Every structure is written in C-alpha cells, then in structure tokens.
Amino acid sequence: MIDVDIEQQLGAFRLAVKFAAEAPIVGLFGRSGSGKTSVINAIAGITTPSRGHIRVNDVALFDAAQGINLPPEQRRIGYVFQDALLFPHMDVHANLTYGQRLRPARERVIDEERVVDLMGLRTLLRRRPDTLSGGEKQRVAIGRALLAQPRILLMDEPLAALDVPRKTEILDYIERLRDELAIPIVYVSHSVPEIIRLADSVVLVSDGHCLAYGDVDDVMGRLDLKPATGRYEAGSLIETRVVAHHLDDDLTTLAFDGGELFVPHVNGLIGERVRARIRARDVALATQRPEGISILNVLAGRVTAINEEAGPIAEVQLAIGAATLTARITRRSVQQLEIRVGSDVFALVKAVSFDQRSVGYA
Amino acid sequence: MFGLTPEEIGILALSLRVAVVSVVFSLPLAIVVAYVLARRSFPGKTLVDAIVHLPLVLPPVVVGFVLLVLLGKKGPIGSVLDEWFGIVFAFRWTGAALAAALMGFPLMVRAIRLSIEAIDQRLETAARTLGGSRQWVFASITLPLALPGIITGTLLSFARGLGEFGATITFVSNIPGETQTLPLAIYTFTQVPGGDAQALRLSLIAVLLSVVALMASEWLTRRAKRMHTDDRR
C-alpha cells in the first residue's frame, strides 16, 4: 500500500527512512522532533527528498532515479493537519467541497452526503470555522480531506490540540471511517494509547530513522525499543475478545489465548475483538497463586526475558499463552523471589488499572 | 453641482481620473510584487525591495525629473513608446497618472505584502494537498484572505495620487484641463494675487474628498473582515 524509501537533509537534521506497510491504519510513531511529520510532508509532496522513492498503491509519487516528483495537487493525498487549517473565509460546506470541486465528477467515489453523515456535520454546514469547537474543526478537516478523493489519508497528530473528551470523540469518528470507507490511513502520533487503539501496524521513527516496523504488538512490546517508545509508556498489548458483560458490577470479561481479563465495562458486543493495553508498572508478580487479595486478574505465565539496568527497576517479560506481557518490578523483588528466565510466575493486574484509552476496538 | 463652478468640476474630475487610473493600472502589478516579496526568496530580493521603496524616500521632484528624462518625447523609453505604440506620457494626463502610480506604488505594495505575510502559509499548503494548483490556490485562498490589505493599499495609493504634486509638476507640467490636478490648481491660485479664496474652496474640496475616500475604505475593510467571521453568531 505504501512504500517509502527516502533521504533528505533538513537543516542540521538528516532524514533517512525506509519502510513498507500494508494495513488499514499504519501508525507512524515517534517522539516530538523524531521526523514523523517530515516523513508525511515528503509523502504529500510538501517537501522534496534528495534521494529515493515514494509509492502509494503502486503509483509512484516520487522517484528521484526516474525523475518523478508529482506536485502536491496531483498526488491525491488527503492530509489532515494537527490544527485542522480550515479556510477562515469559507463556511463549513465550502471548506468540505473545496477539494471535491477540483475533481472530475467520474472520480468522485466518496460521496458528499455520506461524509457529512459519517463525520456528523449535518448541522454545521452553514457555520464559519471560527465558531466551531476544536473537535468540530477536526471533523470538518477530515471530511474535507476525504472529499478530495484521496488514495490515502495522512493524519498528523489530529488529536494533539484537543482536550480528552474531544480526543475520544475524534477517535470514534476515525474508527467509523476506517470501518465504512476502505481508505488506508497513515496516522502520525507520539501518543502510545492512540497508536495502540487505532493502528494495525506501526512504523517507529527515531532521530530521522526508521527503527522498526511491523505489527503493533510486536513493535510496541519489544524491550530493546524502549528508549524510543519511552520508559513511562512501557507496556504490552493483548488481542482479546469480549466474552461477557457483568451488568451488576459494570465489568466486562475479555478472553485471550492465555486466560481471561476482568476490565471496567467496555462498549462492545459479545465476540467483538478488542485490544487491551497493560502498562508494565500495573503488573505485579507472584511465585505462587495468591489467596485473599483484591486483584481480579491473576494470570499464569513463564518468564522469557529479564531486562535489568542500573537503578532500582527491572522489566520482566512473560509469555502468557501466546501473548506477551511485560511487568515492571524492582530488582530487589527479582532477587528475593529468585525470578529467572524460565521461572513459572503469576502476573497480577488490577482491573481498575484499565481505562477508556487502554481498551479499544481492534 | 454643489455650487461648484464648471472650472472646479473640471479640476475635480481630472484629479479623480488621474488617481483612479493610476490605481487601476498599478494594483495588479503591486499584488504580484507584494506576493513575490512576501513568499519567494531569490537573489537580489533586497535590491527589488529597495527599488520598490525608492519613490517613498526620494524627493518627488527627482522622481518627476527621472520620468521626464526617460519618458519625455526624446527620452530613451519615451521615444520608443511614441514611435512603436503611439503612447505619449509627457505633458499628458496619462503622465500625471503614471507619476501618481509610481509615487503610490510603495504604499500599495507594503500594505498588501504585510497582509499576505500575515496569512498562515500552511493554509495554502492545505489547499495544494486538496488538489488546487498554485494559481488556483492564489486566487481562492491568498487573494481573498489578503483583501483587507489590498483595500488599504489601494486607498493609500489613491490618496497619494490625489495629493501628488512634485513629480507631476516636474514631469507633465501644470497645464489647465490636461495635467492641472487639484494640488496643482491650489498651488496656481496661491501664486496669483486675490486667488486665496479660490485656493481655500479647492482645499475644502480636497479635504472632503479625502474624508469620503477614508470612510469608503473603512466600510470596505470591515466588510472584507466580516467575510472571515460569522455575522450570524
């Protein structure tokens, strides 16, 4: 779907990125200043790399060797900017149709009415951008990009400027979009929860280079990538299925290969796939199955790796069934409990450590 | 009309014609120059900027003299224009319009340039990614957003043209009915004994004209700005 291999000098910053990804939503993840935005600017044709190629759905947008460099208006890349960038002198409807009007009628596959409904814009059409809330602006920006009939949608931290309720709102809209229109999305973010919730595969960018790409679980779970994914964010992803809702105490049971998880109520039908993220610091370990404790989730597993650095902390990676779970405990505990690679242990995870942003639809 | 003599109406009409024609012909060029100065970088940009601003700092008489030397009937440019196209500026009202345009040009470019620089360039980038060519983006995004500056620049240049004296009198002289605009007529009346009353009447007309022009521009600017904000709020 998207094949990028580019080099570019941007002042003192050197961008050299190579990846190919095929997924409904590709996450482009990295810290601020890692070069994520430079990558999608090159894809959109806003900047020109010095070497390499960019292909989207097998169409060459840029190829230095063949002298191909389409201008932005011919690339058909829908770019959703961090701060929406609506045209202030046009109302919502004029903004939405700006790109659509520049496309010949036979190329208009994505229908205006459909986008208006999908993005919930029906009541906003006559409004001016400066009267819209941040979330509304971002919905208009997404609709505007869609109606330009793009081959692919690039989203550059579309939630960064929004407060938490608005973030959740836009995430819902993006998920609807992915499910209803078959349009590939490259989603740029430095937020692990967003990447985890949305992306199917992830490209990890650090210091102008692509460190890793692959399935979200694989890349985000790798201990060796911690310096780039961030210590605070350490955690693991588990693909699960909704098996039961407990209406009396508002919990949901999720099942996965290695057992079951109790989490606060999840908005999903029985059988639906959801992705649960467990932060490493929310996981405790025990060598025997504990009795008489409040922790609902006790999972049996085996230690596959221990990552000890100088300092008080050790990260212990466990195999629980086919799933991987990382626990962050003290080095003292590792020694006292004599935990080694191969040890059988129990992972303890409090149900309340899951929140809205750590459980999302897969 | 309003108690004006036919002579006064003639002077007024000529002045308006000179100022309007100067603005109409210089505006497109001013927009292009302002855009290039605001958005492009190229070698020699400082020089272009300086040349555009030259009429603002030079004594107007010098500008008029240069025009006379270059565009006079025997001048290197003037003779070519006359022979090939039959266009004559020297001692014609068109020459007065040219002098007014030149003197007002830096003011016009400055106002438009500032308003283009104030536009978030990423809006133009966004429009490009939506499929707009460079020209279409300029017409549909840059120009409308720069409208308040374009109106201000036009008015400044128009007012400068109405008041233009030094370059005009040097270049096209002071010919009643052809090049004698309002300021030149006022000057002429002050030079003849007993002309003070006439000079005063014309000065009042000039003041009135300026006030009307200012009010019109205010109104236009407010309308243009309202385009960016919702008045149905």
* Whether ipTM exceeds 0.95: no
B122/A102 Cβ within 8 A? no
A145/B228 Cβ within 8 A? no
Please choose, from the candidates A41, A139, A31, the residue with its C-alpha nearest in 3D space to the C-alpha of residue A95.
Answer: A139
Q: Taking CB atoms and an 8 Å cut-off, how many pairs form between chains A and B?
A: 71
Contacts of B122 in chain A (CB under 8 A): 81, 85
A53 pLDDT band, cuts 50/70/90, is very high
B2 pLDDT band, cuts 50/70/90, is low
Q: What angle do CA A200, A167, A122 make, to 5 degrees?
A: 100
A359 pLDDT band, cuts 50/70/90, is low
Give percent of chain A with pLDDT exceeding 90.
45
pLDDT over 70 (residue A357)? no
Q: What angle do CA B179, B180, B184 make, to 5 degrees?
A: 130
Q: What is the pLDDT of residue B233?
A: 37
Report the residue of B129, B143, B150 to disrupt the A interface, i.e. the one with the largest count of A CBs within 10 Å. Answer: B129
Instruction: Please give the average per-residue pLDDT across A36-52, as a whole number.
Output: 93
Tell me the three state secondary structure of residue B8.
helix
Tens digit of each residue's pLDDT (9 = 90 or more) over B75-108: 888 888 888 888 888 889 999 999 999 999 999 9
Please name the amino acid found at residue A310. A
Closest chain A CA to residue B133: A73
Give Cβ neighbours of residue B198 (< 8 Å, ≥ 6 apart).
B189
Q: Is A151 on the interface with B (CB under 8 A)?
A: no
Contacts of A127 in chain B (CB under 8 A): 230
pLDDT over 90 (residue B138)? yes
A266 pLDDT band, cuts 50/70/90, is confident
Q: What is the pLDDT of residue A234?
A: 67
Q: Is A102 on the interface with B (CB under 8 A)?
A: yes
Which one has a higher pLDDT value, A233 or B159?
Answer: B159
Buried b (16+ CB within 10 A) or exposed e, A302-340: ebeebeeeeeebbbbbbebeebbbbbbbeeeebeeeebe
A79/B129 Cβ within 8 A? yes
Contacts of A99 in chain B (CB under 8 A): 130-132
Please choose, from the candidates B120, B115, B149, the residue with its C-alpha nearest in 3D space to the C-alpha of residue A87.
Answer: B120
Q: What is the pLDDT of residue B164?
A: 93
Give this prediction's pTM. 0.77
Closest chain B CA to residue A148: B130
Give Cβ neighbours of residue B146 (< 8 Å, ≥ 6 apart).
B31, B112, B115, B116, B119
Pick the range with the lowest mean pLDDT from A139-143, A180-184, B130-134: A180-184
Q: Rounded to whole angstroms, how far apart are CA atoms A262 and A295?
A: 10
pLDDT over 80 (residue A222)? no
Contacts of A72 in chain B (CB under 8 A): 125, 128-129
- A283, A349 Cβ separation under 8 angstroms: yes
Closest chain A CA to residue B224: A89
Pick the range with the lowest mean pLDDT from A165-174, A290-299, B20-29, B57-66: A165-174
Give percent of chain B with pLDDT exceeding 70.
96
B145/A88 Cβ within 8 A? yes
Tens digit of each residue's pLDDT (9 = 90 or more) over B178-225: 999 999 999 999 999 988 999 999 999 999 988 998 888 888 888 877
Contacts of B127 in chain A (CB under 8 A): 87, 98
